Structure 1
Amino acid sequence: MIFGIAALVPALFFVVGVLRDRRRLANAVWLGVTLVFLLLWLVFGAAASDGWPAAAVAIGLVAVLLGLGLVLPVALIANGVLLVRREGFRPANLLSLLAGLAIFGVVLAFGFATAHTGPVVDVVIGSLLIVAAYVAFLFVSLLLYSIAYGSVGRRTGFDAIVVLGAGLIGDRVPPLLASRLDRAIHVYRREVDAGRAPLLVVSGGQGSDEAVSEAAAMREYLLRRDVPDDRIVPEDRATTTEENLRYSAKLLVDRGWNGRAVAVTNNFHVFRAAVLARRLKLRMQIIGAPTARYFLPSAFLREFVALLAQNPVTHTVTCGALVALHVALTLG
């Protein structure tokens, strides 16, 4: 019962945070803490009872441990190999493969600790498990909240649609960027049917391996799909998501626009783009387009790393404090 009561506190912070601004990173953390307390309430409540609830919890925990320790890393490694074969050998495409290997490393370390006990081993392996648990908690929290964020919110009533750029293949729009443009066209046509004609801002500069700017390629893609040229506004300087948002917002303001805007990206990128929009103090909603399933694990991992990198001091201090407490309790 105590864990159920304790869950009410982070749940309250979560609800207040969402009502204030859905784009807050803290919302994901409060959601994760709430779910942890609820899980503890369920586990300890079932374990304290007799009969099938306790057996069901025991079976469930074994299944989860096997899934996390064996099935998940194998799936991540297989996904990493598939991604490298389809998308090329690049650092960003290695994340799921490396994550799978890292999970296997944690499992092996835990097995080593159970066979070789001692103060030094307990400190080292315990510290490793604490860091792994902290990272896993943040990842699951952000993943769940990202999915929830992308599933709710306004879907109509926009006066401007901003399409965030992605890499080209020469001068050609690849499937990832095409999915964003197709979602933007869908939103545009829905607004036209409702009696509005929103601006479509296509944002993206030209990379060193691209024949034209992303904005130019996106504009041609929209024109071929019967979007009027006078509704398309190219923004061809941005090279990052932050610049996509900032330059597009400034371009709209310079044109005298003051309505409601939405930015379109892929579903895995929605929450980080929303966090950036909040940091830039932009009143802009973010919506996502579908992404190929094989691409999602690595993409979500990349977004997670980028979100962690926004607050390195906070995460370092938190992990350091948890490890220090563990060391003090183990050696004290």
Structure 2
Amino acid sequence: MFVYIPAALLFLVFCWRMLRERRRFGNAVVLGLAVLCGLVAWVSRLLRSGSTSGLVIAFSLLAVGALGILVLTYLLFVNGVRMLRKEGRSPANLLSLLAALSILGVIALVITAAVVRTPVLLGVGAAALGLSAYVSFLFLSFVCYAFLYGRLQVRRKADFVVVLGSGLVGGSTVPPLLASRLRRAQEVHARLAARGRPPVLITSGGQGPDEDLPESHAMADYLTDHGFPAELIEREDRSTTTEENLRFSKAIMEKAKPDYRCVVVTNNYHAFRAALTARRTGVRAQVVGAPTASYFWPNATIREFAAVLVAYRRINVCVGLLFVLGGVLVWAVR
């Protein structure tokens, strides 16, 4: 049982970090390490057992993992093609397709290096395999923790509900993506109002160059058209990014009530990154997500993950350089 001690300790660290602050990407990493250590311990125990059933289970897990990579690649490719057909050929819509092609590229490179076995290819293959494993681990940790974070209960009381904007269609129309946020905000507001004083709902979003009015105004109009009381709506109409959404909304909330508490509403794929941004900007908030169309979710999740990687670019670049150095060492040794 001692082989499971690292996994158990990491899980205890994860629980402690969760109690202190839920809005940390480090929580996702620690949880991922706990699961990884647990799986490695289990597989190593099965292999060392020497029993036929243990060996069968261990190799079955490895086979399932390999098959899972191929299935994931296929699904990403299909999703990428569907995104291009439904959303157009913008760079942001190519992420699923690029991810699938990247996986295939790494697999082809590693196989070629193993067959040809030239020093250069072995070094490049080792570096690519290490980088891919690192990014895959972070991505799986991000997705699993984002799923867990999205199921945390909203605190019992809040003074404000903040809805983040996402752009308008035709310059003035609330698109389905934003409408889902507004409907979710109404649900959250109704639950909070049932527990006490109704919170103020802040629609947050400025006016883009291709928009006829600020997003926050169109959002407020949508809410009032669907029966929401106009006197409970506050508009934040200067922001153009998620960080500005939160910073400018924070100024409104602090002016009205310095010790405020709030709930931020966005789409489910964006909830965890919005929570990270809220923590960085000092907003006392829990973030909840609204449903997103299934075909849109994979591409949007990859985009969110890429943004998190950029936010932590210093440590990621350092780790990446270590894998590159490892590839150079493999090349030098060969």
Instruction: Quickly name the TM-score band, shorter chain normalised.
Output: over 0.9
Residue 219 of structure 1: aligned partner? 220
1:72 and 2:69 matched: no
Conserved 8 A contact 1:165-1:215:
yes
* Change in 2 beyond 3 A, CA 1:111/1:2: farther
Structure 2 unaligned segments of length 5 or more: list them: none
Residue 144 of structure 1: aligned partner? 144
When structure 1 is superposed on structure 2, of 3-12 and 168-177 the one drifting more is: 3-12
Q: Which runs of 4+ in 1 moved over 4 A?
A: none
1:108 and 2:117 matched: no
Residue 189 of structure 2: aligned partner? 188
Secondary structure of the 2:240 match is coil
Residue 322 of structure 1 and its aligned partner are, at CA, apart by 3.2
Residues of 1 paired with 2:155 and 2:97: CA distance? 36
Residue 48 of structure 1: aligned partner? 48
Residues of 2 paired with 1:153 and 1:325: CA distance? 44
Residues of 2 paired with 1:186 and 1:220: CA distance? 17
1:95 and 2:95 matched: yes
Residues of 2 paired with 1:293 and 1:116: CA distance? 41
Residue 44 of structure 1 and its aligned partner are, at CA, apart by 1.1
1:117 and 2:117 matched: yes
Trace 1:155-304 onto structure 2 (pairs within 5 A). 155-170=155-170, 171-256=172-257, 258-304=259-305
Residues of 1 paired with 2:306 and 2:22: CA distance? 20
Conserved 8 A contact 2:122-2:327:
no
Residues of 1 paired with 2:149 and 2:9: CA distance? 21
Conserved 8 A contact 2:125-2:327:
no
TM normalised by structure 2 equals 0.95
Structure 1 unaligned segments of length 5 or more: list them: none
Superposition RMSD on alpha carbons, in Å? 1.6
Residues of 2 paired with 1:167 and 1:3: CA distance? 51
- The amino acid across from 2:308 in the alignment is L
- The amino acid across from 1:58 in the alignment is F
Q: Deviation per CA, 1:126-174: give whole Å up to 9, x if none.
A: 0011111111111111111111111113254222100000011021111
Residues of 1 paired with 2:35 and 2:195: CA distance? 40
Aligned residues: 331
Q: Deviation per CA, 1:65-122: give whole Å up to 9, x if none.
A: 0220x22111101101111211122111110010011111111112212211132221
- The amino acid across from 2:64 in the alignment is A
- The amino acid across from 2:310 in the alignment is A
Residue 18 of structure 1 and its aligned partner are, at CA, apart by 1.2
Conserved 8 A contact 1:199-1:232:
yes
Conserved 8 A contact 1:2-1:41:
no
Conserved 8 A contact 2:154-2:263:
no
